[in-house]
Structures are given as C-alpha cells and as structure tokens.
A = this chain, B = another copy of it.
Amino acid sequence: MRREKVSENVIARLPQYYRCINELYDSNCVRVSSSTLSDRIGFSAAQIRQDFSHFGEFGQQGYGYNVRKLRYEIREILGLNSHNTCILLGCGNLGKALLQNFNFEDCGFFMVEAFDKDPAVVGTTIRGVEVSGVERLELMLDQDHPDMAVLTVPREEAQRAADILVEGGISAIWNFTGAEIQISNSDVVVENVSFADSLMKLSYHLNLKREETDEPVFLAGGRHLVKP
C-alpha cells in the first residue's frame, strides 16, 4: 500500500483509534459512524475523518465505517499484521515486568529470546522466553536477524548495548533506558519510552488545575471572592 507522509500527531492518534475499533470489533459491532467514534475517543468527528483521509477511504458519507475493514486497514497501517520478531536486553525488574505482563503479540511482535549478564537469571525462562547470557547476543543477531530489540538495561549501559544491536543489523529499538541513544544508521527506528516526560506532563496538568481552582471567582455586581 502506497501512502503519503503523515504527521507525528496523526501517527500518535492511530493506536488510540486501533484500541477503540478493536473493542468495537470484539463486541461484534459491524458499522460505526465518525460521530460514535468521536464520543468514544474524545477527538472531533471532523478530526477523525481528516486523520483517516490520509490513508485512503475507509467509509462512506452518511453510512459510517465497516468495523472489520477499518480494523484490518489500521492494523496494516500500523504494521500489526507483519509478524516481527523481537528480543529483550536486560532482565531486571522492568524487563521482567514486560516479559511477564506485556502482550507483544497484540502489537505484532513475537518475543524470541531475552538476554542478561546476571548468572542468577541466565538459563531461566520467563513466561516461555529463555534468558541467555549476553555473550550469545552477537551470534544470535547474526544467525536469527530479530527485527526489534527492547532495551531495558541500566541507563549507563544503553549506548553500548545499542551499538551492538545496530552493528548486528537490528531494524528497531524500543528504548526504556531514559538515555538518549545515538544511532549511526538512520534506517534504524528508535522509539523512546520516557517516564520522566510522562510525569512532567502529569505535573503540568496538576499545576494548571490548582491555578484554575485558586483563580478569583467573579460574581455579578463586580465583587469577587477567592475560593478557599
């Protein structure tokens, strides 16, 4: 499928569309209007129609979208039908949490192997995934060509690990380390999960709410009160 380049804002909304449409699909909904989608997701119906228009026509004016088709198309756009393989580097608490609880297959990724340097973890199996020693990593990259690596090593080891992965031909890195990794090969996709950015956004909204609450309340007649 050919398509135009779309903005990061549209791309960031796609997973939200997908989750919503997937729920409709699971509840056997056949057809949905952009206004119903709008009610469920919170974006305007016009916004939704405009976003979808970047990827071709999914619906018909006044008739709504076919849920099954729309779900399939969004899966295609997001690459969820691609059957990628992935590995995980760093089986500390965060790595373990992802291996045990996160459903990689729902996002089109099959977890094939995990790596750690701690002898206490190497040789164990976490939810069906074997943990190997890091000394096997380069051989594994060379032989099995996994598509993506989840990076959950300590922050100070992030760059060195990324260098090995890129050298080994990885196509994408999902970076949880909080470090900004430098990648020499611009074809490698890096997606950063920054907990700090997320918490700062929360902090911003919390701060704003307080300012709103502390604002003077203007009453009829020009008097004003400050809320306690």
Which residues on A are within 8 Å of B, measured CB to CB? 1-2, 9, 11-12, 14-16, 18-19, 77-80, 82, 84, 92-94, 96-98, 100-104, 106-109, 147-148, 154-155, 171-172, 174, 187, 189, 191, 193-211, 213
A108 to B207, CA, bound (A): 11
Sampled A-B contacts (18; CB under 8 Å):
A11-B204, A15-B197, A16-B197, A77-B207, A79-B206, A82-B207, A92-B97, A93-B96, A101-B155, A104-B199, A106-B196, A147-B206, A171-B206, A172-B202, A174-B202, A189-B202, A191-B201, A193-B195
Task: Give the interface SS of chain A, mostly helix, strand, loop or mixed.
Answer: helix
Taking A19-B197, A78-B207, A93-B94 as given, write out 12 further A-B residue pairs in contact, using a Cβ cutoff of 8 Å, ordered by the A residue number: A11-B205, A12-B201, A16-B197, A80-B200, A80-B203, A82-B206, A82-B207, A93-B100, A102-B196, A106-B196, A107-B200, A174-B199
Q: Which residue of B lies closest to A82 (CB)?
A: B207
A209 to B213, CA, bound (A): 47
A80 proximity list for chain B (CB < 8 A): 200, 203
Q: Is the CB of A196 within 8 A of B15?
A: yes
Q: A102-B195, A174-B198, A209-B189 are in contact. Are A203 and B94 (CB under 8 A)?
A: no
Q: Which residue of B lies closest to A180 (CB)?
A: B19
Q: A193-B195, A193-B198, A196-B19 are in contact. Are A204 and B94 (CB under 8 A)?
A: no
Q: Is the CB of A201 within 8 A of B15?
A: yes
- The residue in A93, A106, A147, A154 that gathers the most chain B C-beta atoms within 10 A of its C-beta is A93
Q: Which residue of B lies closest to A107 (CB)?
A: B199
Q: A102-B195, A193-B198 are in contact. Are A203 and B93 (CB under 8 A)?
A: no
Q: Is the CB of A203 within 8 A of B102?
A: no
